[in-house]
A and B are shown apart, each in its own frame.
Chain A
Amino acid sequence: GEDVEQSLFLSVREGDSSVINCTYTDSSSTYLYWYKQEPGAGLQLLTYIFSNMDMKQDQRLTVLLNKKDKHLSLRIADTQTGDSAIYFCAETPNSGGGADGLTFGKGTHLIIQP
């Protein structure tokens, strides 16, 4: 079955870059996502990448996809205290019907040190 793996914790200093990694097993994965969840809040879609892309950049966020190794990463430049949250990697296959649910990793808790 599908599986998405992430490290559970990442600690970085304020101002440094954070790199959150994710690996997945489903070779039919078409869309890969990063969601952010702050304490007590819902899930915020940060960014996504289509599987025929290698990289996507959006302001402080850079997503890298290595499809051969089934590895996805999220880099947050100039990490701020407001970036403290759980970051979920997720994937979905493309069945064409648009009804596929997301398979989530267990989430990476990003901890910011002053």
Chain B
Amino acid sequence: DTAVSQTPKYLVTQMGNDKSIKCEQNLGHDTMYWYKQDSKKFLKIMFSYNNKELIINETVPNRFSPKSPDKAHLNLHINSLELGDSAVYFCATTSGQGAREQYFGPGTRLTVT
């Protein structure tokens, strides 16, 4: 079983549309994150959720809204997509215990045309 999975793997959409990316983890971890990797491979954290509570909200436009229906899922909804939103979005999880390894999903490549 895949520990951290994301759907879809690829998403191509037009400017102005609204889309969602889903993340699921079967590790029983407490905290989940969304990261954005741009075309230059730079990675930046966007959000984290701990027990369904938003912990970090970096300087991300409010068009982006994370939603966690339960501890195993953290979805990312994006309104009014812009060209600059094109990137690879990674979900990650950590148990928050011990060594605090973060495990990443395979990524969702979003292309806005």
| A interface residues (Cβ-Cβ under 8 A, vs B) | 31, 33, 35, 37, 41-45, 48, 50, 86, 88, 92, 94, 97-104, 106-107
Contact = CB atoms under 8 A, between A and B. Distances in A.
B44 interface: yes
A50 B100 CA distance: 10
Given A31-B100, A98-B94, A104-B44, 13 more contacts: A33-B101, A35-B104, A42-B104, A43-B90, A45-B101, A50-B99, A97-B50, A97-B96, A98-B31, A98-B95, A101-B45, A101-B48, A107-B41
Contact of A86 (B41, B48, B107): B41
Nearest to B105: A42
Given A99-B31, A99-B56, A106-B40, A45 B45 contact: no
A99 B42 contact: no
Nearest to B109: A40
Interface of B: 30-31, 33, 35, 40-45, 48, 50, 55-56, 58, 90, 92, 94-97, 99-107
Contact of A106 (B33, B41, B55, B102): B41
Nearest to A42: B106
A92 B41 contact: no
A43 B30 CA distance: 20
Contacts of B94: 98
19 contacts: A31-B99, A42-B90, A42-B106, A43-B43, A43-B90, A45-B104, A50-B99, A86-B41, A88-B43, A94-B100, A97-B96, A98-B50, A98-B100, A99-B96, A101-B48, A102-B45, A102-B92, A107-B41, A107-B43
Nearest to B102: A102
A43 B104 CA distance: 6
A35 B104 CA distance: 10
A14 to B, nearest CB: 24
A60 B97 CA distance: 27
Nearest to B55: A99
A86 B100 CA distance: 22
